Amino acid sequence: MRGCLVVPVCGREGRAVQLYGRRTERHAPKDKRHLYLARPLAGVFNPEALKSREIILCESILDALTFFRHGMEAATCTIRAATVESVSLAIDADEAGEKAAGQAASRLRAVGIECHRIKFPWKSDANQYALDQGGEALRHAVQSAEWLDGTGGDGSPGRPARKATAAPEKSPRSTKDAVPSSSSLAAKSLAAKKEDVPEAPEPSPKPNGIPQPALERKGDYCELAMGSRLYRIGGLEKNSSLEVLRITLRVSCEGLMHVDSLDLYRDGERRKFVDRAAEETLLEKDLLKRDLGKLLMALEGLQEERLNAPPDAGAAAVELSAEEQDEALALLRSPDLLDKLTEAFSAAGIVGEQTNVLAAYLAGASRKLAKPLAVIIQSTSAAGKSTLMEAVLSFFPEEDQVKYSAMTGQSLYYLGESNLKHKILAIVEEEGAEKASYALKLLQSEGELTIASTGKDPHSGRMETQEYHVEGPVAIMLTTTSIDIDEELMNRCLVLTVDESREQTERIHELQREARTVEGILAAEKRDEVLRVMRNAQRLLEPRKIANPYARHLTFTSGRTRTRRDHEKYLTLIDTIALLHQHQREAITHTVGGRTVEMLPVTLADIEAANRIAPEVLGRSLDELPPQTRLLLESVKAFIRTRMESEQIEQRLCLFSRRDIREATGWSQMQIRRHLERLAELEYVHLRSGRNGTIMQYELLADAVEEDAGYHVGLIDVKKLRNRKGAKAGK
């Protein structure tokens, strides 16, 4: 090795197993230039490159170092895969090199690895070519590597055409962009020895021997990485037949990108995309053509699988073990089921909000009924409305929930026919579903959606009328900070108001502090077990018909027309409570028209439980003031009463400003202003003096001494029903 550049060659364990020597004398005989130790040839130079998808396999270590010198080294590789998919052979352009290239290509294709041959002038190698033509020409040669399909251009295995002996023109592109950053190097002697190609995990070979790249799902898009190129595909789900493959495609490489919509089955559109992408990303057109071919094959398989899949392939039922069923049934068969649920709410980390949580839970359980309940959770910003909804949703199985942050006007119509049936549709902010409010109202009232739309017949290509149908019933949950909710939507829902009192805030603070303690951490660990049992209990509930033997004797206020819908909500509350007790009661059976109809009976306990919830949740909907505006009115009354007592003056002299109320309540200026305007509009307060830019003085028109009388919805006392039942039993 004296007088040589010596490079150690390591084995898999990282220990040097061979030495390579390259004589530095310019005129040394060719057979004396490359030296190895007199021991079996072994090891791989730069084994880290084998973690890449694309590598350059060289005949000698000097050739590999040449590629390193010109910026094509494994250290720049950003590939995440651990499987080699493509190998570019950098073999000498001579008879021995042709033979070695053919052998290497055959072995690589046998394990499904795509092969390319880097073309050098005849009797030249990578090092000599770089010395003669420069690094730019070497990079261009790598980009222009010829794909080896097993026959070669002239019938020999991968032998390049003779016209390649001329030096290629230098590419005008920069060193950074000339070669993809995924190119990496592995040098191994192939001409002088008969070693096996380095082992790599075997990919899934295709009939043509080229490995198929894997698509990765990222939200609404698919992504496909090929070397340093990243392709993002959108809109695949809009294709309704196997004859069309229209997508929105974005290719990006080292900060450069191009995006366009095209049909991959149209040759003209593919050519246009390749031309424009080559201009924008500085990639070679041949490389982009090969990428599009692989992409087309991958998307064809995905689209065929999607279009041929059964309608409900993704809605796999959750099977419970015998132990899980016993735990869930123990909860459902508890004599004090509603009390058990309330305890579970507390164990799940919910403090206060007893009525709200129970009402929202019953609304979610009502999804199993023919006409479920809907809920709007209303509060000021940061009061916890979203937290309340998330907590309630955690009690229900994930497969029974469909949750969105926002919806377009037509989005609901194009869901699967049974995607919403007996499920909870949760929308994080009512404002995000403003455009879909009409569909939500129809879904709540009619229990289904139907739309006629024009579309193209996939077979004839002619425009035709197509009908889309979405089945209910579905329970709807929304949250909002607005006080001006769509009246048509609001009177179809239960309106729940988050407790914003100082006492509730103190309870929340205490819970937050408790969560940092040892006891709090242990309680959080138990919380998952509580939620698991509650979800399994919901899985055991079945849709049932509910018969209420006391329905004719129930009462409800009838002073306003909107109570026609509120009365239906009250009856549904009773039905839902009965539904939760289905594992505790015997069904009533009747025969109608030769078929047996089963019904679950309502008990007086169900009505009594509903009567405890209804006045608060239904009374709010009957109030002409939004809940937060009503709360401000009561705060103003309390403020005026305090001043009347302390200053010994009449109510008409107790004027107040926005600042007075802001300091008394702790509300923000925006909240005070918005709700005072609503109170003035409905003549609960009157602006006595001032205008914008000056102090505005208000007078309270409502009686400050009169306290809030609560909510009255005219429900019958259950004791009367019980006495009526006893009287009938006596007869």
Would you list the domain boundaries of the chain? 44-187, 216-307, 324-543, 627-700
Give the class (CATH, top level) of 627-700. Answer: mainly alpha
- Strand-pairing partners, residue 424, are 401, 475
What are the b/e assignments for 67-84, b being 16+ CB within 10 Å?
Answer: bbebbbbbeebebebebb
The structure tokens listed for 539 are 């899985």
- Protein fold of 324-543: Rossmann fold (3.40.50)
- CA-nearest of 622, 637, 618, 613 to 699 is 637
590 pLDDT higher than 70: yes
Confidence (pLDDT) at 530: 87
In this prediction, residues 275-295 reach a mean pLDDT of 89
Confidence (pLDDT) at 194: 32
Confidence (pLDDT) at 725: 60
Average pLDDT score over the chain: 79
Residue with tokens 């096996």: 196
- Between CA 685 and CA 66 the distance in angstroms is 86
Amino acid at 373: L
Residue with tokens 């709007």: 376
In this prediction, residues 7-25 reach a mean pLDDT of 84
- Between CA 680 and CA 319 the distance in angstroms is 57
The structure tokens listed for 710 are 């609560």
- Between CA 303 and CA 193 the distance in angstroms is 47
Domains 44-187 and 324-543 in one fold: no
Q: 177: burial class by Cβ within 10 Å (0-12, 13-18, 19+)? A: middle
Q: How confident is the model at residue 309 (pLDDT cuts 50, 70, 90)?
A: low
- CA-nearest of 331, 103, 113 to 205 is 113
- Strand-pairing partners, residue 403, are 426
Decide: pTM greater than 0.85: no
Residue with tokens 């239960």: 494
- Between CA 432 and CA 404 the distance in angstroms is 9
Q: 7-16, 113-122, 534-543 — which one is most confidently predicted on average?
A: 534-543
Confidence (pLDDT) at 582: 92
**Whether the bond into 372 is cis, omega within 30 of 0:** no
Tell me if 177 sits within 8 A of 254, measured CB to CB: yes
- Between CA 547 and CA 603 the distance in angstroms is 10
Tell me if 520 sits within 8 A of 527, measured CB to CB: no
Question: Collapsing DSSP states into helix, strand and coil, what is residue 483?
Answer: coil
What are the b/e assignments for 311-344, b being 16+ CB within 10 Å?
Answer: eeeeeeeeeeeeebeebbeebbeeeebbebbbeb
227 pLDDT higher than 60: yes
The structure tokens listed for 113 are 């690895």
- Between CA 302 and CA 299 the distance in angstroms is 5
607 pLDDT higher than 90: yes
496: enclosing H helix or E strand: strand 494-497
- Between CA 236 and CA 243 the distance in angstroms is 13
The structure tokens listed for 526 are 């138990």
Residue that wins the pLDDT comparison between 194 and 281? 281
Confidence (pLDDT) at 25: 83
Over residues 53-104, the pLDDT tens digits come to: 788 888 888 888 888 888 776 422 333 334 677 888 888 888 888 888 888 8
- Protein fold of 44-187: Dna Topoisomerase Vi A Subunit; Chain: A, domain 2 (3.40.1360)
202 pLDDT higher than 50: no
- Between CA 415 and CA 420 the distance in angstroms is 8
The structure tokens listed for 50 are 């084998």
- Between CA 496 and CA 203 the distance in angstroms is 56
Q: 625: burial class by Cβ within 10 Å (0-12, 13-18, 19+)? A: middle
In this prediction, residues 468-493 reach a mean pLDDT of 80
